[in-house]
Amino acid sequence: MNRFLLVSLLAALSISPARGGEVDISGSVEMQARAFWHDPQWVGQDDQALQGTVISTTEIRWYNEGGNQRAAFIPYLRWDATDEERNLTDLKEAYWAIEGDDYELLVGANTVFWGVTESVHLVDIINQTDFAGDIDGEDKLGQPMVSLMLQRDWGEITAFVMPHFRERTFTGVDGRFRAPLPVDTDNPVFQSSGEEDHVDFALRYSHYIGDIDIGLNLFSGTSREPRFIPAADGQSLLPAYDQIDQFGVDVQYTKDAWLWKLEAIVRDGVTHSFAAAVGGFEYTFYQVSESSADVGLLLEYQYDGRNEFEPVTIADNDVFVGTRLAFNDVQDTAVLAGLSYDTDTSETFVNIEAERRFGDDWFVELQVRAFSGAGQSDATIWLQKDDYAQLSLARYF
């Protein structure tokens, strides 16, 4: 068989048009190994330096014949060998959606991302953070919702009604990344008498004008960020979820190799109203030294005006510097390295992520995260011994 025939045959086999009355099933199995090089700091934490996790994600997607309806069902299972609080069964997505020329109605669990910045995601509020999964806040839990999107010449408006609240995940007694007392996720405290069934609302406007992309967001409901209250027996911390109202704006100005970014919020919180903002730029040198690689430089400044009675944040008065290396090779090799530095307290957080594909189906990621310099009032004061490196190997199918 000549090569062209072979290629054509492979092409015919692998093009499976998952459109029009079809079900598309895919997924991945990921193995993570975490290595900690400091002994644990708190009583009860497992002192194994190497800790393992297995994650399975299955994506089942359906599209109707006419192409105006679709459904997704994405179960996510995580099993951790060390900390049972890191075990998770979630539906990242489980929805049905119907769309017309200028609207979409979606019912079910979904994940929605808002925002433009890299170092902190201030305006992104629809989905709860799976903190036990990843401390970077980018792992999310599926949010049950009814959402209606309207597309107009002057932009896109989406309304969200969220009838059920998802609690944040936290590592357990055995796990790292916790305060001296573990978080008791079985006994959350809600400000609303409706507790997790309080109905939350959100509204998003999104558009672009020339080189400027803009988003405006309103949220009214249960804060995704909890405060912590010591339990009566003094053995744990109870997460406390308050009612908040929040207005957010995200703007990006894209000009040549520059991306200028700003996110800002005003929140009517537990005890006061405050503002927070993150802004900066990303500049990319394309094809450095006549190679295919791009090198991006990132600089962002984070401000947060919240007082000590509000949920604690790491991003309160920090400068973030980072670099993004994209090799633009067949394997999509990329490295993102960043450092956040608190100009008030010298609290420092280093984050390095490197990834590439092997063959067609394997994907490898290396993460290194390190904490230092935190003062008594800093969010990472309890994590100073939790520096780690993580190697993850994923097989896609």
Residues that bind another protein (CB under 8 A): 7-8, 10-11, 14-18, 26, 28, 61, 70, 72, 97, 99, 101-102, 104, 111-113, 115-116, 138, 149, 151, 156, 206, 208, 213, 252, 254, 256-259, 284, 286-287, 292, 294, 328-332, 357, 359-361, 363, 394, 396-397
Q: How far is the CB of 67 from another protein (least distance, A)?
A: 9
State whether residue 14 is helix, strand or coil.
helix
Residues 218, 222, 228, 234, Cα dihedral to 10°: 180
Residue 121 vs 198, nearer CB to another protein? 121
Residue 49 vs 54, nearer CB to another protein? 54
Residue 228 vs 363, nearer CB to another protein? 363
Residue 208 vs 309, nearer CB to another protein? 208
Residue 88 vs 97, nearer CB to another protein? 97
Residue 143's beta-bridge partner residues?
110
Q: How far is the CB of 381 from another protein (least distance, A)?
A: 28
Q: How far is the CB of 7 from another protein (least distance, A)?
A: 6
Q: How far is the CB of 323 from another protein (least distance, A)?
A: 16
Q: How far is the CB of 146 from another protein (least distance, A)?
A: 15
Segments in the chain forming alpha helices (H): 3-14
State whether residue 272 is helix, strand or coil.
coil
58, 27 contact by CB (below 8 A): yes
SS (H, E, C) 137-166: CCCECCEEEEEEEEEECCEEEEEEEECCCC
Residue 35 vs 112, nearer CB to another protein? 112
125: nearest Cα among 244, 274, 212:
244
The backbone torsions φ and ψ at residue 94, rounded to the nearest 5 degrees and listed phi first, read: -160, 80
The label of the residue with tokens 């100005």 reads: 253
Residue 108 vs 175, nearer CB to another protein? 108
Residue 322's beta-bridge partner residues?
298, 338
Q: How far is the CB of 4 from another protein (least distance, A)?
A: 9
Q: How far is the CB of 297 from another protein (least distance, A)?
A: 13
| Rounded Cα distance, 346 and 298, in Å | 20
Residues 6+ apart with CB under 8 A from 255: 211
